[in-house]
Amino acid sequence: MKPPRFDYVAVRSVAEATEALAQTEDARILAGGQSLVPLMNLRLARPRLLVDVNGVRDLVGFGGRNGTLRFGAMCRHRFLETDPLVHQKAPIFAETAALIGHVHIRNRGTLGGSIAHADPVAELPALLVALDGRVIASGTGRERAIPAAELFAGPFTTSLDPTELLTAVEVPAHTDGDGGAFSEFVRRHGDFATAGVAVIVHRDASGTCESLRIAGCGLGPTPVDLSAAGEFLLGESELGDGAARELGKRVAAASDPPGDVHGSKDYRRDLAAVLAADAVRRAWQKAGAARRDPGG
């Protein structure tokens, strides 16, 4: 199938982009296009105007300040996956980005695009929730921060206003004692996850778990915050096999996933249990390793 007609503007700045969004009803941002264009090809998405932000310099780049890491919305998955600085400062982003699609999807797809698309099975929205991050949204003449917890409103739906452009993603900086892991089940390499679980652990100098955050993809209508399932591990300094499995059970019980051709509700719960146990084991170990080896 071929996409329906639309108008197209390639903008050079955030201001140009927000102006274009404000002036046309049913305008959509064109970032990597890896989700939007298939939907347009199927005529399921039919924007009147595409605002191409691929040439906006302000939207690329990655840096840290005052305990916060800021990613430009146009950071491509492939950049997150391969950039040495991202590996060092935000290893969980590198790990998660590598899970997304195939290399050619990652060559084009962007962090901001993925989050704004809000696919409930996508990895980066779940990671944003797990990290308790936020996005920066720009409208004409204004800018606001939207916490992850308030961003995802439903499948493919966010609290972004149609006239707003997601310009950046901010998460707390990675510190010693942090460990993150993203475990997902895909039927084939590069597929959308049937289910995925991100676990972010912080252990103090003695190895005690100070915080543990969990989020899932494919486990609900939006990326879901499942951190409550892990509260029993706070204050623990060891993670036994039984505890990891217990976490899996609790995550599965707390999930209310949809059933579809890729798996029933029960199947996704089964997966959630396996994935959460795996993710917490890995995150826990990394948090410990990070404490011993600050460079790692």
Partner 1 sequence: MTSVRFSLNGESAEVDVEPRELLLDTLRDRLAAKGAHAGCEQGACGACTVLVDGSGVRSCLMFTVQASGTEVRTIEGVGSPGALHPIQQALSQHHGLQCGFCTPGMVLTALELFETDPHPSRDRIEEWMSGNLCRCTGYVNIVSALESLAGTGEAPS
Partner 2 sequence: MSVAAPPRAPAQTGTRRHEDTRLLCGRGEYLGDVQRPDLKHIAILRSPLAHARIRDVDVSGAMTVPGVIGVFTGAELAADTGEFSHHLPMIPTLRQITWSVLATDKARFVGEPVAAVVADSRYIAEDALELIEVDYEELPAVSDAKAGLEAEAPLLYEDWGDNVFLYMPGAHGDVEAAFADADGELRERFTHHRVSGLPMEGHGALGEFDPSTGRLEMHVSTQVPHTLRTVISDITGLSEAKIRVVAPDMGGGFGNKAHFMREEALVAVLAMRVRHPVVWQQDRTENLLAGLHSREQVHEVEVAYRNDGRVLGLRANFVVDVGSPELYILGCAPAIVTTGVVPNCYDLQDYAFELRCVATNKCPMGGYRGYGQPQGIFLMERVLDLVGERLDIDPVTMRRRNMIPDEPRPYVTATGAVLDTGSFDEQLSELLEAADYDAACGARDEARAEGRLVGVGIAQMVEPTAPNIHALAGRFGGYEMAMLTVQPDGRVNVAVGTKSQGQGHETIYAKVAADVLGISPDDVAVSDGDTAALPYGIGTWGSRSAVMGGGAVIKAARQVRDKMAAIAAGLLEAPADQIEASDGFFRLGEAAIPFGQIAAAAYLHTFLLPPGMDPGLSVVVGYDPGNTSPFPDERGKLNVAATYSTAAAAAVVEVDPATGVVTVSDLTIVHDCGTVIDRVLLDGQIHGAVAQAVGQTFFEEIHYDENGQPQTSTLLDYMIPAFGDVVRPRIVHRETPSELIGGFRGAGEGAIIVTPAALAAAVHDALAPLGVPITQANLSPSRLRELLRAHSTA
Residues that bind partner 1 (CB under 8 A): 1-8, 10, 30, 33-34, 37-38, 40-42, 50, 52, 54, 78, 101-105, 107-108, 188-190
The residue among 30 and 115 lying less far from partner 1, judged by its C-beta, is 30
Q: How far apart are the first and last CA of the chain?
A: 48
Distance CA 29, CA 27 (A): 7
- Of the residues 25, 190, 238, 256, which one makes contact with partner 2 according to CB under 8 A: 190
- Of the residues 52, 58, 132, 270, which one makes contact with partner 2 according to CB under 8 A: 270
Query: Does residue 7 contact residue 89 with C-beta atoms inside 8 Å?
Result: no
Region from 123-131, 189-197, 217-225, 279-287 binding partner 2, contact rule CB under 8 A:
189-197
Q: Does 2 bind partner 2 (CB under 8 A)?
A: yes
Rounded to a whole number of angstroms, the minimum distance from the CB of residue 57 to partner 1 is 15
The site that binds partner 2 (CB under 8 A) totals a number of residues, namely 27
The residue among 4 and 259 lying less far from partner 1, judged by its C-beta, is 4
**Extended beta strands in 59-177, E state:** 62-65, 68-72, 134-139, 142-147, 152-154, 157-158, 165-172
Query: Does residue 100 contact residue 109 with C-beta atoms inside 8 Å?
Result: yes
Rounded to a whole number of angstroms, the minimum distance from the CB of residue 1 to partner 1 is 6
* SS3 of residue 215 by DSSP: strand
Distance CA 12, CA 5 (A): 23
Region from 38-46, 83-91, 156-164, 234-242 binding partner 2, contact rule CB under 8 A:
38-46
Query: If you ran DSSP here, which 8-state letter would residue 216 be given?
Result: E
Region from 65-73, 128-136, 165-173, 182-190 binding partner 2, contact rule CB under 8 A:
182-190
**In 3D, which of 87, 70, 82, 84 has the Cα closest to residue 106?**
82
- Residue 203: strand pairing partners: 209
The residue among 200 and 217 lying less far from partner 2, judged by its C-beta, is 217
Phi first, then psi, for residue 288 (nearest 5°) are -70, -45
- Residue 76: strand pairing partners: 110
Please count the residues of the chain.
296
- Of the residues 58, 191, 204, 236, which one makes contact with partner 2 according to CB under 8 A: 191
The residue among 33 and 139 lying less far from partner 1, judged by its C-beta, is 33
Q: How many helices (H) and strands (E) does the chain have?
A: 11, 14
Give the contact letters, 202-241, x = binds to partner 2 (CB under 8 A), - = no.
Answer: ----------------------------------------
Rounded to a whole number of angstroms, the minimum distance from the CB of residue 102 to partner 2 is 9
Q: Using the structure block, give the residue that is written with the tokens 């089964």.
A: 270
Q: Does 6 bind partner 2 (CB under 8 A)?
A: no
Q: Rule CB under 8 A: which residues touch partner 2?
A: 1-5, 38, 42-43, 185, 187-192, 194, 260-264, 266-267, 270-271, 273-274
